Amino acid sequence: MVDKIYQAVVAYNDGSKFSQTIKDCSLSDLPDNDVLIRVHYSSLNYKDALSATGHKGITKQYPFTPGIDAAGVVVYSRSTAFKEGDEVIVTSYDLGMNTPGGFGQYISVPADWIVPLPKNLSLKESMMIGTSGLTAAIGAYKIMNHSFNSDNPNVLITGATGAVGSFSVALLSHLDLHVTAATGKNDQLDFLKTLGASEVINRDKVQNVEEHPLLTGKWSAAIDTVGGEMLAAVIRQIKHNGIVACCGNVLGNQLQTNILPFILRGITLAGIDSGITLMELRTKIWNRLAEDWKPVNLHKLSREISFFDLPDEFQKILDGKQVGKVLINLL
């Protein structure tokens, strides 16, 4: 295949600090994997900001191009599973961790990381969903498959204005559940209502509660994107036989809890790791997201930027100041 120059966001470590810039790169610098993809769209995730700013445990070697999400068109394939011109989605696995990611105009990946773009979903829409939407949908899948005491379970979403949180609000409202959105951003009430939230509350009402091992059960289910003290408080406020799907560690990796919600209320704590979700479930969920699980207000969930503007966005997501999803155009 002929070598080619393309552009990518590259994170550098000069020994004392990390910086990010747009650079010319060469296809010959990409790993020699089965499938080469011209990326049309990507999206910004919390993990990307961690990689771009040198957070330990994500990316080992710099210079590096982050981006755990990519949607584009196959330009070369050694795999019989894909051919030139196929529209595809790649999220998770090692993409954007230690394999150059979707913030470059080309990626080279193993065939078994790739999901064919489902019918009824455009490349652009797939990245309005991205890893955060997939994560929310895996949480929704766990909740929808749970046996509740009630026919009308009500659901709490924490970190509701974030990328995972806002998609969770939109999807579970779309699935006709009564959704309470908990947020620290009091000025985003209209946004969350537009996504379908039945109720919007300040996150302090969930988190800053008494220390009792069990509190009044308020919600049948929750998707917690925050972790730490927030998750501990949520677990104590879930109704009998409820479920908490947790994915995030915005407030840290520690969870201090007690056994009573589990043995006196039968609570299920369900972890989500979208990165290693098996291909069978991953494909099934992407196909649902293209059909009956596609939120009607999908276009309200994201704001589009050019990848040239990406370096300004990393600190914002690290500071918890993003609202909804950042869709990245690499065309």
Rule CB under 6 A: which residues touch ligand NAP? Answer: 45-47, 131-132, 135, 159-165, 183-185, 203, 225-226, 230, 247-251, 272-275, 317, 320, 322
Spatial CB neighbours of 248, under 8 Å, sequence gap ≥ 6: 46, 159, 162, 164, 224, 225, 226, 227
DSSP 139: H
- Give the nearer residue to ligand NAP in terms of CB position, either 40 or 203: 203
- Give the nearer residue to ligand NAP in terms of CB position, either 78 or 321: 321
DSSP 64: B
- Give the nearer residue to ligand NAP in terms of CB position, either 74 or 233: 233
- Give the nearer residue to ligand NAP in terms of CB position, either 178 or 185: 185
> Is 76 exposed, middle or buried, given 0-12, 13-18 or 19+ CB atoms closer than 10 A?
middle
Q: How far is the CB of 246 from ligand NAP (least distance, A)?
A: 8
**Strands annotated E in the chain:** 5-13, 18-26, 35-43, 69-77, 87-91, 106-109, 114-116, 154-158, 178-183, 199-202, 219-224, 238-246, 268-271, 302-306, 325-329
Is 93 in a helix, a strand, or coil? coil
Q: How far is the CB of 71 from ligand NAP (least distance, A)?
A: 17
Q: How far is the CB of 324 from ligand NAP (least distance, A)?
A: 8
- Of 223, 104, 111, the C-alpha closest to 171 is 223
Q: How far is the CB of 233 from ligand NAP (least distance, A)?
A: 10
Q: Strand 199-202 to strand 178-183: parallel, antiparallel, or no bridges (unpaired)?
A: parallel
- Give the nearer residue to ligand NAP in terms of CB position, either 108 or 168: 168
Structure tokens, 58:
């994500």
- Give the nearer residue to ligand NAP in terms of CB position, either 36 or 195: 195
Q: How far is the CB of 103 from ligand NAP (least distance, A)?
A: 15
- Give the nearer residue to ligand NAP in terms of CB position, either 81 or 279: 279
Q: How far is the CB of 322 from ligand NAP (least distance, A)?
A: 5
Residue nearest to ligand NAP (CB): 162
Is 166 in a helix, a strand, or coil? helix
Structure tokens, 66:
């982050």
Q: How far is the CB of 66 from ligand NAP (least distance, A)?
A: 13
